[in-house]
Amino acid sequence: MKVDIDKIDSVVISHDRWDHWGGLWDLLKKKGGIKVYILPHFTNEFKEKAQSLQAKLIENTNLLQLSKDIFIIGGDIYGKHPNGYIPEQVLILRTKNGLTIISGCARQGVLKIIEKVKRAFPFQIIYLMVGGFHLINSDKRTVEFIVESFKKMGVVKVGPTHCSGFSAKEIFQEKYGNNFIPIKVGVIIDV
């Protein structure tokens, strides 16, 4: 991805699942002292491993500003999982076009995420919603409802990824047309 590791000073982890933090250990081995933003619910095993690799853990529970135009929001956004509830946080970029929301899996419901962000930034346009929407097991009617809700909430562009599911991606692409962004590893998006 042509990222200079020496320029990385912070990492945001959406939720405590191995497939969302799997590369973190290798990064921390190459460069210690990185701030790692997590939720308090992360396991002690995760926290101990990260700290042993010199990570500076910062536990977030609500809206936190990381820099002038970069925020994370989490806390009371909960989602269902077979092993219980998995709280998540999302990354928010404030750009000239509006807000870009980057979600991990949205197990708590992608609409809940957008609603929470809209409450935190009441007069901002949601320019892009990108990431996992966790619709992989949702039926067509549910996905169509969510797509229409996105449009009613003013979401301009979408980029559903992995756990959104192939069928959901097709519906989003059909309804959003040129405002659908196909996401692949290494893709660069101009926001």
pLDDT tens digit sequence for 50-92: 999 999 999 988 899 999 999 999 866 655 555 556 678 999 9
pLDDT of residue 9: 94
- Residue pair 26/13 in contact (Cβ under 8 Å)? The answer is no
**Which residues are bridge partners to 91 per DSSP?**
72, 102
Query: Which CATH class, in words, describes the domain spanning 61-191?
Result: alpha beta
Intervals of CATH 3.60.15.10 along the chain: 61-191
Task: Report how far residue 65's alpha carbon sits from residue 163's, in angstroms, rounded to the nearest whole number.
Answer: 27
Mean pLDDT by 10 residues, the chain (191 residues): 86 76 85 93 92 94 94 72 69 97 87 94 96 92 97 97 91 97 85 84
- Give the DSSP letter of residue 40: T
Residue type, 74: G
| Joined tokens for residue 15 | 């939720």
pLDDT of residue 14: 86
- Residue pair 168/143 in contact (Cβ under 8 Å)? The answer is yes
| Joined tokens for residue 171 | 């519906």
